[in-house]
Amino acid sequence: MAPVAGGLSESVVRTKDLRRGFDGRAVLRGVDIEIARGEFIALLGRSGSGKSTLLRALAELDYDVPGSGELDVPANRSVVFQDSRLLPWARVLDNVILGLGGPNARERGKIALAEVGLAGREKAWPKELSGGEQQRVALARSLVREPELLLADEPFGALDALTRIKMHVLLQELCERHRPAVLLVTHDVDEAVLLADRVLVLDEGSIALDLRIELNRPRTHRDPEFIELREILLTSLGVDREPVAATA
Ligand SMILES: Nc1ncnc2c1ncn2[C@@H]1O[C@H](COP(=O)(O)OP(=O)(O)OP(=O)(O)O)[C@@H](O)[C@H]1O
């Protein structure tokens, strides 16, 4: 975390000893994280490790979940989920600008749609769009608000492999332009190494690994350093893979 003039911190997210549980069962058992302004964090962890629980805590969507700890998040944040959560009865542009005030809302919404490659689709209904296009609308709806923090819970999890690759490129472009801090929950180790400045692994209710990814961009899966980082993360996730035995 880089200090700025006056000794203030540049962190936009800070948690200390964050705890959450359901029905007396602890899920988050003391999570300490800091996310710097504009930093891209990927959050990995086994299924059921509490990734979504942590994301929902940062989104302050978990008012009904018992817990404790310190939580400091910006009010100006937005959330993208695995499904686009568009309102089916509202046209695409109206979905993007829903709740957005100001005289230029429609203009800003159109610009956001153009940024995600959907210029000209303003009047379409959500059901007329593919799954990938609907997620583009969800990204436009988030970024038109210029959030300080973008929380994304497996946003590409339901997309086919090719669409997912395109969305990775798009998300990187959008983040370079808008510079939100990002917390991306994903199951996909390659997605994490491809996109993130730092990868966190959640295990047993706390951050078990905090791995900085210092590869130059654009990143490629074929880079030996990429492969090395992937292996470190897979090991941390408990994926033990036997080396492929030589057959000759
Ligand atoms: N509303 C809830 N009520 C009761 N238990 C819950 C609730 N939400 C989550 N849990 C439990 O908390 C644990 C963590 O769930 P969470 O969805 O955060 O994990 P996750 O790491 O995001 O999982 P996945 O990768 O499978 O999506 C799980 O055991 C889950 O069953």
Please give the DSSP secondary-structure letter assigned to residue 123.
T
Which residue's alpha carbon is nearest to atom 5 within ligand 1? 22
**pLDDT, averaged in runs of 10, over the chain (248 residues):** 48 98 96 97 97 98 94 96 96 96 93 96 98 96 96 95 94 94 97 98 97 95 96 93 57
Any ligand 1 atom below 6 A from CB of 24: no
CA 227 to mean position of chain CA atoms: 22
According to the model, what pLDDT value does residue 2 have? Answer: 43
CA 124 to mean position of chain CA atoms: 26
Q: How far is the CA of 27 from the centre of ligand 1 (A)?
A: 8
According to the model, what pLDDT value does residue 10 have? Answer: 86
Tell me, yes or no, if the pTM score tops 0.90. yes
Q: How far is the CA of 21 from the centre of ligand 1 (A)?
A: 10
Q: Where are the domains of the chain?
A: 1-76+146-203, 86-141
According to the model, what pLDDT value does residue 242 have? Answer: 61
Whole-number Å distance between alpha carbons of 101 and 171: 25
According to the model, what pLDDT value does residue 114 have? Answer: 96
Q: Which of 161, 102, 109, 165 is nearest to 139 (CA)?
A: 109
Q: Which of 150, 185, 187, 203 is nearest to 28 (CA)?
A: 203
Q: How far is the CA of 223 from the centre of ligand 1 (A)?
A: 34
- 1-76+146-203: what fold? Rossmann fold (3.40.50)
Atom from ligand 1 closest to the CA of residue 187: 25
Any ligand 1 atom below 6 A from CB of 135: no
Which residue's alpha carbon is nearest to atom 13 within ligand 1? 48
95 contacts 87 by C-beta, under 8 angstroms: yes
Q: Which of 19, 20, 22, 58 gets mutated to test ligand 1 (max ligand atoms within 8 A of its CB)?
A: 22
Q: Is the ipTM beyond the 0.90 threshold?
A: yes
According to the model, what pLDDT value does residue 29 have? Answer: 98
According to the model, what pLDDT value does residue 46 have? Answer: 96
111 contacts 141 by C-beta, under 8 angstroms: no
Whole-number Å distance between alpha carbons of 180 and 121: 25
